[in-house]
Amino acid sequence: MISIPILDRLSFRDYQGLIFTVLFFAIETVIRIIVILLPKFVINGIDAFIESAFPWLTSSERKPRVSPLEKAESFEQIIRFWRKYAYEQHVVRTQDDYFLCVHRIPYKEIITSDKYNDKNNQRKNRMEKNIEIMDNLDQFIKTKAHRPPTKNGNRPVVLLYHGFLMSSEVWVCNTDEHRNLPFVLSEQGYDVWLGNSRGNKYSQNHQSLSPANTAFWNFSLNEFAMYDLPDVVDYILEQTGASSLTYIGFSQGTAQAFAGLSVNPRLCKKVNLFIAMAPATTPKGLHHPMIDAFVKATPSVVYLLFGRKTPLKLALFWQRIISPPLFVKVIDGCVNFLFGWTGRNMTAEQKLVSYQHLYSLTSVKSLVHWFQIIRTGRFQMYDEVPSRIPYHSPNVVRDHIPPKFPTKQISTPIAVFYGNSDSLVQFDVLVADLPPLAYVKAIESWEHLDFLWGKDIEHLLYPDILKLLRHFNAQTDEKNHQLEPERETDMYTE
């Protein structure tokens, strides 16, 4: 009797989910072919008809001013829009021969008109006032200097890493210049670097493999943590001459740091502080029960749907075809369906810009890795041979158990910022797997994406980050100059 591997481990609900998904992709493929064949004037006519027939889809987005950032096609174009900031592009070769693009915004004194300087000084004074009223951090900050300490003429270094299916663009596409964290850090005197994970739009090169080859996409969170992160950190420290840097990660950017620091004690010594925003290690699942059950039961079926290269390329197709206001509605509907997010803390104008820079490519294998973590509830390494038996089946002796990332062994100070309305963060589970934290802050109404583009981010988040950076960079500077003996980091919790 001929049997099809993988199908014999599906339940009735799994079959329902699989059939529904296959039908969805089949219908979507037919629509996509039709759209490709239609002339552009017909597409524009359809778009105009949708706007007139269903004004509720777009009317709320017509009021905001449309920013030129919406049409910026690259990180370089976004930086050029702001004009005042220097920009560099570096290429890091990993130990397994991937070439990763790393963007840099070096500190540079900004000389502009007196009118701008007056406004800029007012903004800085407001930021300083926000910092001064944070009593919980004032107790351990010794320096009140506006500029952070320097060592041998080198500026303190900060590395920012994006989340899953993203690129470095997400850090610099806030419509208000001073709500972009890299710009705030640069003006505060930091040497800012922004990483790009292998496979995204800026990191699709390899010494011998092409993205057209399946082998190019054979990577998961393991490779992000064990190659990309340490190799990028080493490159940056070599280029800057700094002894260590501060790492700020968002979502998967936190996961790769938790994983990388846990298995690499030498890397821990090179990171003086790890700031985890919207940390993702063990998401509890997806919002919709049918999709959640499908993911938890058989994550490997994703290979049947997407192949072995990259998932969701259709998102880029629809982003190019439909109007930005309608695309905002599509994204809002998708994240609400999958994660239960409302997007209420982002303005309509901000969504029009940020959603155009939201999506970039990654591997199907990394998606499967996350589904494995969701299924098992463990922050574990990729399981190359997943068991046919449901993970939580009682009275079952397993043939193998993938090792967890030993996150309790991390020696780098960790600060965690999370939203109480973020369905992807299980803080109790996270903190149980970590050493004592240096600082914790929960923002009551914030969801996942608010840590990039939420309203009042410059008041609710940035003052805390600047205080932490000054403190831990001051500690690093003191250790390098041997002005006082090394001491343990205290614990601060909000």
Name the phi and psi angles at 208, rounded to 5: -135, -10
Which positions ≥6 away from 324 have C-beta within 8 Å?
A: 61, 66, 70, 352, 355, 356
Q: 205-206 and 245-250: which strand pairing?
A: unpaired
What are 252's strand-pairing partners?
none
Active site residue 60: no
Stretch (H or E) spanning 115: helix 114-132
Q: Return d(Cα 13, Cα 18) in angstroms, integer.
A: 9
Cα separations in angstroms, 347 against 61, 68, 126, 449:
10, 16, 22, 12
Q: Which two tokens stand for residue 51?
A: 């706007």
* Cβ–Cβ < 8 Å for 258, 415: no
Active site residue 251: yes
CB atoms within 10 A of CB 206: 18
Cα separations in angstroms, 481 against 115, 152, 476, 485:
40, 10, 9, 10
First-residue to last-residue Cα distance in the chain? 62
Tokens 């993970």 -> residue: 391
Three-class DSSP labels, 262-324: HHCHHHHHHEEEEEEECCCCCCCCCCCHHHHHHHHHCHHHHHHHHCCCCCCHHHHHHHHHCCH
Active-site residue (options: 162, 357, 448, 471): 448
Q: Which two tokens stand for residue 187?
A: 């003006």
DSSP letter at 343 equals -
* Cβ–Cβ < 8 Å for 421, 445: yes
Active-site residue (options: 168, 197, 220, 251): 251
Q: 439-443 and 414-419: which strand pairing?
A: parallel
Longest CA pairwise span in the chain (Å) = 82
Stretch (H or E) spanning 255: helix 252-263
Active site residue 167: no
Active-site residue (options: 228, 383, 422, 450): 422
Catalytic residue set: 251, 422, 448
